[in-house]
Structure 1
Amino acid sequence: MGCGATCWQVLVCVTFCCTLVFVNAEDPYRFFTWNVTYGDIYPLGVKQQGILINGQFPGPDIYSVTNNNLIINVYNSLPEPFLISWNGVQQRRNSYEDGVYGTTCPIPPGKNFTYILQVKDQIGSFYYYPSLAFHKAAGGFGGIRILSRPLIPVPFPEPADDFTVLIGDWYKANHTALKAILDRGHKLPLPDGILVNGRGPNQTYFTFQPGKTYRLRISNVGLQHSLNFRIQGHKMKLVEVEGTHTLQTTYSSLDVHVGQSYSVLVTADQTAQDYYIAVSTRFTTKILTTTAILHYSNSAKKVSGPIPGGPTTEIDWSLNQARSIRTNLTASGPRPNPQGSYHYGMINLTRTIKLESSAAQVNGKQRYAVNSVSFVPADTPLKIADYFKIGGVFRVGSMPDYPTGKKMYLDTSVMGADFRAFVEIVFQNHENIVQSWHINGYSFWVVGMDGGVWTPASRNQYNLRDAVSRCTTQVYPKSWTAIYIALDNVGMWNIRTEFWARQYLGQQFYMRVYSPVESPRDEYPIPKNALLCGRAIGRRTRPL
């Protein structure tokens, strides 16, 4: 790429003309131009090298409506390669645009790349983040909101306003220093603090009008810790989880595990003053806490009193809350039909996969694995190699369906899967930490979770009626979580831990969902503007 503005406009126009056969011409387009740079930030009072998008930390929100086409032109002004991925955006039939190294070539320094996304049949609250190296520890993330189309009913009145709330643990050290620690084969220390929208204690304000109700879209964009979110003197009504309208249960505090997103409604129904918004770590020996401010527009008093306390290490409390989050079966989703019209519990399973995480030393360095395989990136993105049929980059079947008991080893692990299969996946956690798992390209039903070791008898306690559908799920210490997933999206999809140091050191793999028909009805062709790298250099995409 790397052309100027005029060249880029011509390229986009040509691309649109050539791709209208694949997207509905009636669906609106939204255009974004982003410049990614380094800049000084001081989120915890210490100067750091942050990743800015158009000079902002965090980056700008992406505002969209179901089925919108998002044209995002990203200029990489960093001195190293860069990629952005879109947490929760399913990239229907189009994993080429997913923005992880297994699917997309990095944007070289000084060049640009235009992502062409469609938020097909989606609503909800998500976020984007930088996926290469350890860039996520420097920023480059921001919120994504996908609103329902005007004619689709939403199961709650329109709020007075809609706020993005990005929470996450944070290090004072630069991302380059953190990456160097991992590259030397060592573990990272505990994070230094927690940020709310990129700022430290009492630096972020949300202004409410008395008597009105507001929507908060809360995403944990941090690096490892589960966080508890609460508001002094106020209740939160949960209404949406990662694209699913939920039963509208009221909570005084909410556990948000790393990588997860929730929408809550909060009503300004208390005395006119300022109130603490408290965010603290869960399941840690040292509790990190930060605060933001809920400010009433007619406030007569600054924030005061003790910071509201929350749960700390109680696992059962969190487990019970997780089980209480259920799908609203009568509400519409992105389409007018009720969310409960798809009876996932009545579909026959075609396959069971059990994924077991582990930590060990390999060649004297710390590594993490799934089913004993610690992922190492190939020299060419897997999806690109698959398209051009470049041999020797990866092997389908290098990720086993079950734990093997083998000693941990390194491989570019890829699991094969059939298009339209209906699969049960069990995440088994033998460790003493809470884990969080994400699957790109999909939402799945979280049908069960409990302590101990999963067995076939565990299916007796599955929720086969109104389990929440989402894209990121937690697995508690010495516990299991089971999901059902309909593999209806052809492509190469990343399955990973959201514990970012573990992801970087191998606790991830790719699932190749394959259709032998190779029809554009099942999967779009490679984008004409796709960047080519590794062994794909010198090859051609499709002619413009």
Structure 2
Amino acid sequence: MGWWLKYCSLWTVMTIIVSLVQAEDPYRFFDWRVTYGNIYPLGIPQRGILINGQFPGPEIYSVTNDNLIINVHNDLDEPFLLSWNGVQLRKNSYQDGVYGTTCPIPPGKNYTYAIQVKDQIGSFFYFPSLAFHKAAGAFGGLRVLSRPRIPVPFPEPAGDFTFLIGDWYSHHDHKNLKALLDRGHRLPFPDKVLINGNGVSFSSSLTVHKGKTYRFRISNVGLQHSLNFKIVDHQMKLVEVEGTHTIQSMYSSLDIHVGQSYSVLVTMDQPEKDYSIVVATRFAAKKILVGSTLHYSNSRQSLSSASLSARGPADELDWSIKQARSIRTNLTASGPRPNPQGSYHYGLINISRTLVLESSAGLVKRKQRYAINGVSFVHSDTPLKLADYFNIRGVFKVGSIPDQPRRGGGIRLDTAVMGANHRAFIEIVFQNREKIVQSYHLDGYSFWVVGMDRGTWSHASRREYNLMDAVSRSTTQVYPESWTAVYVALDNVGMWNLRSEFWARQYLGQQLYLRVYSSVHSLRDEYLVPKNALLCGRASNMQRPIITP
């Protein structure tokens, strides 16, 4: 076999090795066609973005370590990309599906994503990441089930349901919303809240059986608003948050912020009648709510809109902060592997760097912009990851955004890229001096939410950190005039998007890219650019390098 290795490129050999290693894990194939079409979230037609004619899109069912091969045909009249919210693409930011890492799929073309849900379990979702497509649909649920031999810390439920909830514009096309932002305006208040693409109260029903326990996976796929989810007269047992089994506390309702996913168990232990499932805006000047029906199989009593109520706690903020702090990791439960979730003692690792990221809003050339540490992100003409791979100069500069907020100077425009070393262990503090709840997400990672409180973060705030069983997740809220601190182990080489989940803020600059770099170029740390990768911008004419021994 030595003569064969001598004449093969290293690339070919490594590709075969990786294929052989991955061959042990199952493959699941999907063929999706993305089109415009009429949707009826409020009973009247409006233009939406469909996947295989569906709104919301098809749900992905998978098992830990599955390889997902998703061929996406773009039949829209503009470029399109899908991203995978909460899925940790190990060593493979090329498949992340955001413009900083991936060339958009041109109209009339297709691209095949090849992703592995490596060492993951839990409830996630996918969504369209370009322009304002998210306001038109093309989102769907993504669940990763545990392998049969790995114990799950609760009995098998009688049913497993996905609830995609989010605020919605029924009177504005997604292109009109984008045009508003491009002209420097803010978005109007949304018109409705949807449950699985439906905004008409009690037009949908979920049938359950007395005495049975069911699992509800709830994701906020909306554009801006925090939402509260409850099932009237029923308690919800929280069991999983974005891939982490949690301490199984009981809640009468849950605040779910933009980009977040929760998984609860609900036992049907009430008298046999119909009950409201209520989703309502939280921390908003105007209440919007929608209801669905939980129908006991022997129920003789139906619901009407009169039974829909948005009553909540007198102090929403204190109530929500207390609830957020109560969500913790179940240290005795197995994760995607047989070892306990608590075997990684994050609280005993020394922090190598602290980032303090502060949001701001303001006008730049008389147009609305949003920023982190005074820098409002603007896209380059070439995806950053491709520019990094092909060593194309002038596309971005590492360190174009500071580690700490700078006072004064207003907002400047730049392609914000922050450098970080592979295997560093860092602290990120999200400081919010604004009077709104915010939500942040980091692609490619989960982080430990170690602390949150009102006011301004300081080094003394660390005394209140949870260094034992903080929940590990990929999206966290930051309350008004408050801070949230997270710990991150940078074990995933690549170019990773850190963004506001408020889509107008993300679109108008409240994001950056974290370049996690290793000087040792090895397939153990990062895969090569995919053979089918679309090349665009200054990378259009690049040839994928072949390294010979």
Secondary structure, in 3 states, of the residue corresponding to 1:316?
helix
Deviation at 1:267, TM superposition (A): 1.1
Which amino acid is 1:188 matched to? Answer: L
Q: 1:70-122, CA deviations, whole angstroms, 9 ceiling, x for partnerless residues?
A: 00000001011000000001100000000000000000000000000000010
Alignment RMSD (CA, Å)? 1.6
Task: Determine the C-alpha separation between the residues in 2 that align with 1:97 and 1:273.
Answer: 47
Match of 1:291 in 2: 291
Q: Kindly, what percent of the aligned residue pairs are identical?
A: 70
Task: Determine the C-alpha separation between the residues in 2 that align with 1:291 and 1:303.
Answer: 10
Task: Determine the C-alpha separation between the residues in 2 that align with 1:16 and 1:232.
Answer: 55
Which amino acid is 2:387 matched to? Answer: A
Indicate whether 1:121 and 2:119 are aligned.
Answer: yes
Match of 2:5 in 1: none
Say whether the 8 Å CA contact 1:528–1:542 is kept in structure 2: no
Match of 1:185 in 2: 184
Task: Evaluate the alpha carbon distance shift between residue 22 and residue 127 of structure 1 in structure 2; reply closer, same or farther with a 3 A threshold.
Answer: farther
Q: How does 1:462-477 map to 2 (within 5 A)?
A: 462-477=465-480
Which amino acid is 2:426 matched to? Answer: V
Match of 1:306 in 2: 307
464-473 vs 43-52, which moves further: 43-52
Deviation at 1:187, TM superposition (A): 0.2
Deviation at 1:274, TM superposition (A): 1.4
Indicate whether 1:536 and 2:539 are aligned.
Answer: yes
Match of 2:417 among 414, 419, 431: 414
Match of 1:323 in 2: 325
Deviation at 1:542, TM superposition (A): 5.6
Deviation at 1:18, TM superposition (A): 4.5
Match of 1:404 in 2: 406
Deviation at 1:22, TM superposition (A): 7.4
Which amino acid is 1:445 matched to? Answer: W
Q: How does 1:14-413 map to 2 (within 5 A)?
A: 18=16, 20-21=18-19, 23-172=21-170, 173-200=172-199, 201-303=201-303, 306-308=307-309, 309-311=311-313, 314-405=316-407, 406-413=409-416
Secondary structure, in 3 states, of the residue corresponding to 1:322?
helix
Task: Evaluate the alpha carbon distance shift between residue 19 and residue 203 of structure 1 in structure 2; reply closer, same or farther with a 3 A threshold.
Answer: farther
Q: TM-score, normalised to structure 2's length?
A: 0.95
Which amino acid is 1:453 matched to? Answer: T
Task: Determine the C-alpha separation between the residues in 1 that align with 2:313 and 2:361.
Answer: 28
Q: 1:291-315, CA deviations, whole angstroms, 9 ceiling, x for partnerless residues?
A: 1111112222112563243347620
Task: Determine the C-alpha separation between the residues in 1 that align with 2:469 and 2:255.
Answer: 20
Match of 2:6 in 1: none
Match of 1:480 in 2: 483
Deviation at 1:376, TM superposition (A): 0.2
Indicate whether 1:522 and 2:525 are aligned.
Answer: yes
Match of 1:436 in 2: 439
Q: 1:446-500, CA deviations, whole angstroms, 9 ceiling, x for partnerless residues?
A: 0000000000000000000000000000000000000000000000000000011
Say whether the 8 Å CA contact 1:171–1:192 is kept in structure 2: yes
Say whether the 8 Å CA contact 1:527–1:541 is kept in structure 2: no
Residue segments in structure 1 that go unaligned for 5+ positions in a row: 1-13
Match of 1:11 in 2: none
Task: Determine the C-alpha separation between the residues in 2 that align with 1:372 and 1:237.
Answer: 41
Task: Determine the C-alpha separation between the residues in 2 that align with 1:263 and 1:422.
Answer: 28
Indicate whether 1:448 and 2:451 are aligned.
Answer: yes
Match of 2:493 among 487, 490, 494: 490
Secondary structure, in 3 states, of the residue corresponding to 2:342?
helix
Say whether the 8 Å CA contact 2:135–2:168 is kept in structure 1: yes
Say whether the 8 Å CA contact 1:284–1:313 is kept in structure 2: no
Task: Determine the C-alpha separation between the residues in 1 that align with 2:45 and 2:53.
Answer: 16
Q: 1:5-36, CA deviations, whole angstroms, 9 ceiling, x for partnerless residues?
A: xxxxxxxxx99974744752110000000000
Task: Determine the C-alpha separation between the residues in 1 that align with 2:194 and 2:54.
Answer: 15
Match of 1:9 in 2: none
Secondary structure, in 3 states, of the residue corresponding to 2:22?
coil
Match of 2:464 in 1: 461
Corresponding pairs, count: 531
Q: TM-score, normalised to structure 1's length?
A: 0.96
Task: Evaluate the alpha carbon distance shift between residue 204 and residue 18 of structure 1 in structure 2; reply closer, same or farther with a 3 A threshold.
Answer: farther
Q: 1:143-183, CA deviations, whole angstroms, 9 ceiling, x for partnerless residues?
A: 00000111100000011111110000000111011001000
Secondary structure, in 3 states, of the residue corresponding to 1:459?
helix
Deviation at 1:49, TM superposition (A): 1.0
Residue segments in structure 2 that go unaligned for 5+ positions in a row: 1-11
Task: Determine the C-alpha separation between the residues in 2 that align with 1:141 and 1:472.
Answer: 17
Task: Determine the C-alpha separation between the residues in 1 that align with 2:230 and 2:394.
Answer: 50
Say whether the 8 Å CA contact 2:202–2:303 is kept in structure 1: no
Task: Determine the C-alpha separation between the residues in 2 that align with 1:63 and 1:323.
Answer: 30
Match of 1:506 in 2: 509
Task: Determine the C-alpha separation between the residues in 1 that align with 2:432 and 2:48.
Answer: 34
Deviation at 1:204, TM superposition (A): 2.8
4+ residue runs of structure 1 moved beyond 6 angstroms?
14-17
Task: Determine the C-alpha separation between the residues in 2 that align with 1:526 and 1:232.
Answer: 50
Task: Determine the C-alpha separation between the residues in 1 that align with 2:93 and 2:79.
Answer: 20
Which amino acid is 1:537 matched to? Answer: S
Match of 2:8 in 1: none
Task: Determine the C-alpha separation between the residues in 2 that align with 1:99 and 1:312.
Answer: 41
Which amino acid is 2:263 matched to? Answer: S
Task: Determine the C-alpha separation between the residues in 1 that align with 2:159 and 2:544.
Answer: 44
Q: 1:403-458, CA deviations, whole angstroms, 9 ceiling, x for partnerless residues?
A: 01232000000000000000000000000000000000000000000000000000
Which amino acid is 2:103 matched to? Answer: C
